[in-house]
Amino acid sequence: MKQYLKRFTGWLAAITMLFTMSILPEARSYNDMDEITNHLKLNVPQTLQINRPSGDGYTNSSSYFIMGSSDPEQTLTMDGSPITDRGNRGSFGIYVSLDEGSNVFQFRQGDQKQTVRIYKGVAAPAAKINVVRDMAPSYDCATLTGETITFSCIAPSGARVSAVLDGVSVPLSQTAQTAEEGVPAAFRGTTTAKQVSGTQDLGKITYMMTYDGKTTSYQSEGRVFITGPGEDLIVQVKNNASCLYTGDNMGYFEAVVRIGAVDRVSEIGQKCYHLASGGWIPKETVTPLTGNVAVKNRVSKTTFETSSKGETLKLTGTTHPMFRASMETDGELQVKLMNTIGVSRPDLENSKLFSRLKVLEENGDTTLTFVPDGEEILWGYDISYKNGVTTIFIKYEPKLSSGDKPLSGITVAVDAGHGGTDPGALGFPMTNGASEAEINLASAIAVQKRLESLGAKVVMMREEEKDLTMNDRMTMTRQANADFFVSLHSNSAGYETDGNKISGTEAYYYFDNSKDFAEFVARNGASYMGRQARGAKFSNYRVTLNTFCPSILVEMGFVTNPIEYDNMTSREGIFELANAIGDSIIDTLK
């Protein structure tokens, strides 16, 4: 009832607007650029240098987008003609047409000159290697007794390579001849999965290579599991969130499942396992289990409790079931627990969200329907598992405060995409200047300062250049019980497209409770930074799969557009981004 009142009742909307107006003037007029951007040290070289291609270029495309840096105060020419598409820090890109064979372009600025050669239809010289790489499997995977196990890797052409699994060595054959030895070549071999009982872990594959008079060994990242005839293969979700698809080709996704959930596999595909409870789950997102693992969840205890942030239903059972859940616009929450029985109906007398809980047990599954009619509005939910307990946490909507700290009491998780050994997309200086990861981090720190100036508590996924997995980012967000999550990224385009014409800000979301936030960020970001508005877009990026709060991934702009790259590395551009994020959170809560 309250949800309808807030959205559609005229007088309540008017009161809300008056309240919001009383806090926005001070909050929006904050303009301390020095404080917000005093950490910035993003390097953009301002001397003539061609960075893409970094040497001779090779392509089959009929065109190429050459990128580089220059002195913004001096005229820059290519083959005698001025280049006008430059950022204010000197970054430039020019889209050229290519003829078959060799194409030569001369760049000049002052007394500096650079020559670029791009070959169309000519194969690039292959760099030689002396290691084994790209070894299968790259993640834990299972097969059945009697099925074929394929070994594959990349090794120097002319090498002798074998694969060892469970003490058995299998020689691999080079799949195609090369013009010379030492260049990367594909090697492949097969064996038949042995007879086992239950599911056995055979461990990682060891690849042995003899080359250039030396024998070296390498191990695959993933392990090999075999399930015996007539036995159940049980898998457990290892990612904080994993998508279920309608088919093995992962063409369409239909649901999200959480880390720890277990299920039986009914069919093994090429890319995915078909789960007995429905849906195809990517093999790389689950781990096969050995031993006696329960799949049927028999609940023996049901408890319900409230807190300042939300309400919690705990189900003590025998395993961690898969689920399907949906949150409706009227505040109703429905959770279907697969392979689950024995859930009792708890007393919701203290609930501020729901009037009652419907429990429907049918065909070995249980559907829980939380019926709304409370003092609070449903903001999101989270389902987690630990030691046989399934926990459903249901979150209250956060509220704006009065005065110049409207985000007091609100927690925001800010994620600087990539980092550490993963630089993300490279901009115009390539490795000589700020990469995407560095731009993302500098922008995230500015967003942190802006949000804190508005009263928010900010949880940073990273505050330095370090490696951080998707699981790390999502775990930190859940542990912080965040009210908003925003992941900052920088977009890019390939060399075969005109980077001067591809620009703009966009925001991605997956769940409906994130759509409004994504739309505000996409709109405000483009408006404040003077970029094209590419809008809010639906997609299943891992970091957008949080259900307990609006979670979005923002592509702030294109590092392959010279004007946007120079703006994204500037104090002015990053300051306006921080303002856009802060104001978008306020707009979402109005």
Query: Residues 504-553: pLDDT tens digits?
Result: 999 999 999 999 999 999 999 999 999 999 999 999 999 999 999 999 99
pLDDT-based confidence at residue 430 (cuts at 50, 70, 90): confident
What would the pLDDT profile of 456-472 be if each residue is shown by its tens digit?
999 999 988 777 787 88
pLDDT value at position 2? 38
Strand 141-144 relative to strand 214-227: parallel, antiparallel, unpaired? Answer: parallel
Under the banding of pLDDT at 50, 70 and 90, the label for residue 423 is confident
Rounded Cα–Cα distance for residues 339 and 333 (Å): 19
CATH tag for 297-396 (out of 3.30.70.580, 2.60.40.3500, 1.10.10.10, 1.20.1740.10): 2.60.40.3500
The reported pLDDT for the residue numbered 29 is 53
Quick one: average pLDDT of 158-169?
98
273 near 265, Cβ under 8 Å? Answer: yes
Q: Which of 251-255, 320-324, 379-383, 413-417 has the lowest mean pLDDT?
A: 251-255
With cut-offs at 50, 70 and 90, classify the pLDDT of residue 30.
low
What pLDDT does residue 26 have?
46
Structural element, H or E, at residue 394:
strand 389-396
CA-to-CA dists, residue 555 to 3, 352, 444, 488, 521, angstroms:
31, 37, 13, 6, 10
Where along the chain do the CATH 2.30.30 domains lie? Answer: 234-289
d(CA 500, CA 558): 10
Share of the chain above pLDDT 90, in %: 85
Question: Is residue 381 within 8 Å of residue 393, measured between CB atoms?
Answer: yes
Q: What's the gap between Cα 581 and its chain centre?
A: 19
Per CATH, the architecture of 49-120 is what? Sandwich (2.60)
CB within 8 A of 93, min separation 6: which ones? Answer: 65, 66, 67, 68, 85, 428, 499, 500, 560, 561, 562
Where along the chain do the CATH 2.60.40.3500 domains lie? 297-396
Q: Looking at the chain, which residues constitute the CATH 3.40.630.40 domain(s)? A: 2-30+400-589
Say what the pLDDT of residue 545 is.
93
Residue 78: which residues within 8 A CB-CB, separation 6 or more?
A: 94, 105, 106, 107
- CATH 2.60.40.10 range(s) for the chain read 49-120, 141-225
**Homologous superfamily, domain 2-30+400-589:** Zn-dependent exopeptidases (3.40.630.40)
Distance CA(554)–CA(15), nearest Å, equals: 32
- Rounded to 5 degrees, what angle do the CA atoms 326, 331, 332 make? 50
Give the residue with greater pLDDT, 473 vs 568.
Answer: 568
Superfamily name with CATH number, domain 141-225: Immunoglobulins (2.60.40.10)
Alpha carbon distance 67, 562 (integer Å): 8
CATH number of 234-289: 2.30.30
pLDDT more than 70, % of the chain = 95
